[in-house]
Amino acid sequence: IKKIAVLTSGGDAPGMNAALRAVVLAAEHYGLQVLAFRHGYKGLLENDAVPLVAQDVLHILQYSGTIIKSARCPEFKTDEAAKKAAENLQNNDIDALVVIGGDGSFRGAEHLSHHWNGQIIGVPGTIDNDLYGTDATIGFATAVSIAMDALDKIRDTAEAMDRVFIVEVMGREAGFIGLSSTMASGAERMILPELQREKPLTIAALVKHIERVKKVRGESSYVMVLSEHQWPGGAVALAEQLEAEYHLPCRPCLLGHIQRGGSPAAADRILAAQLGVYAIELALQGETLVMSGIQGNKAVATPLPDTWQIDKPLDPNLVHIQHRVFNPVKKNGDA
């Protein structure tokens, strides 16, 4: 192969720039040319492309976001769009396309493969860590570290004012950010999609837990991590409910898109280097429709559909530690 294309698609993630840098440097190392499509699949449809060389990407790894831009492109789901994309790839003499993004972007890649014969390699770039086939996704470590910093700050004011706080974090349908930021900050409670699917938390059980923690531990503050979409109306509604119905002074805090910005954590920059370079090596080996991932320190290729079809569970030991070991023992009848 002689020429590859690269794009960043879907929700941006810290470390996407570092992954782009790695892809371009690896391509140059192996004598391949690189064409970047801007704004994800939108640019692929509009043939909005720029050639990239090492000089363009050397000093971008310390910034979040993506210099080639990302976008959502709903019309890419049609056959006409995939055909148009295939045409543009052919006209640009592209042998392999590297897609840096999350599960939606990988579904898009699979869709494209029905209309294009070139190779497609995925690089997992999402803060959610919700892709099977890699221990971590690029952006996850940074998002957790941002949430942890916020939770530390919230603890200061919660302690001072004897308050309950609810901090809402991202994660789509997965609780990885919620679990890791809870563990890293010592929050008293986590409300995560995986746990809610197993046994939804009732407000009465939550209030009992708050009271037990205060009584048994003598704690004056109580900090709870709420994954997005896991309470009707989110953190704001839950805080209002606790104040109105149970007279608990409670404040919500929505971290939102702050979780995606700033300086990528070292772990994400290094992961991006490994996954970006391995993506190019997979292309050179003739692989297609696989994701470049890391499992237990080893680079592993996983078929793209597996990445969103196979469930990636939370670490049961971390859940056990948080729920059983770190919590005051339940009394009979308590939820």
Tokens of 285: 């080996």
Burial of 297 (0-12, 13-18, 19+ CB in 10 A): exposed
- Residue number closest to ligand ADP, CB atom: 104
9 touches ligand ADP by CB under 6 A = yes
Q: How far is the CB of 9 from ligand ADP (least distance, A)?
A: 5
* C-alpha–C-alpha distance, residues 156 and 314, integer Å: 29
Among 12, 103, 128, 130, which one carries the catalytic annotation?
Answer: 128
Q: How far is the CB of 333 from ligand ADP (least distance, A)?
A: 43
Q: How far is the CB of 182 from ligand ADP (least distance, A)?
A: 23
103 touches ligand ADP by CB under 6 A = yes
Tokens of 280: 């190019």
Tokens of 194: 């995986």
107 touches ligand ADP by CB under 6 A = yes
Q: Give the residue, chosen from 72, 115, 155, 229, that forms a contact with ligand ADP under the rule CB under 6 A.
A: 72
Site for ligand ADP in 39-58 (CB under 6 A): 41
121 touches ligand ADP by CB under 6 A = no
Site for ligand ADP in 75-94 (CB under 6 A): 76-77
List b or e across 93-114, with b for residues whose CB sees 16 or more CB atoms inside 10 angstroms. Answer: ebbbbbbbbbbbbbbbbbbbbe
37 touches ligand ADP by CB under 6 A = no
Q: Position 108: which residue type?
A: G
Q: How far is the CB of 140 from ligand ADP (least distance, A)?
A: 13
Nearer to ligand ADP, 107 or 251 (CB): 107
DSSP secondary structure string for all residues of 172-238? TT--HHHHHHHHHHT-SEEE-HHHHHHSPPPHHHHHHHHHHHHHHH--S-EEEEEETTSSTTHHHHH
108 touches ligand ADP by CB under 6 A = yes
Tokens of 222: 């109580």
Plot region of 179 (φ>0 → left; ψ -120 to 50 → alpha; else → beta): alpha
Residue 128 is a catalytic residue: yes
* C-alpha–C-alpha distance, residues 6 and 100, integer Å: 8
8 touches ligand ADP by CB under 6 A = no
DSSP secondary structure string for all residues of 255-314? -GGGGG-SSPPHHHHHHHHHHHHHHHHHHHTT--SEEEEEETTEEEEEEHHHHHHS----
Nearer to ligand ADP, 38 or 107 (CB): 107
Q: Which stretch binds ligand ADP (CB under 6 A): 97-105, 162-170, 196-204, 250-258?
A: 97-105
Q: Which stretch binds ligand ADP (CB under 6 A): 43-51, 99-107, 145-153, 242-250?
A: 99-107
* C-alpha–C-alpha distance, residues 300 and 291, integer Å: 8
Q: How far is the CB of 97 from ligand ADP (least distance, A)?
A: 13
15 touches ligand ADP by CB under 6 A = no
Site for ligand ADP in 135-174 (CB under 6 A): none
Other Cβ atoms within 10 Å of 236 Cβ, number: 15
Nearer to ligand ADP, 73 or 164 (CB): 73
134 touches ligand ADP by CB under 6 A = no
Q: Give the residue, chosen from 17, 88, 105, 182, that forms a contact with ligand ADP under the rule CB under 6 A.
A: 105
Residue identified by tokens 């009848």 is 333
Nearer to ligand ADP, 119 or 185 (CB): 119
The four Cα atoms 123, 127, 132, 136 give a dihedral, to 10 degrees, of 80
Known catalytic residues are: 128
Which residues form the interface with ligand ADP (CB under 6 A)? 9-11, 41, 72-74, 76-77, 101-105, 107-108, 111, 126
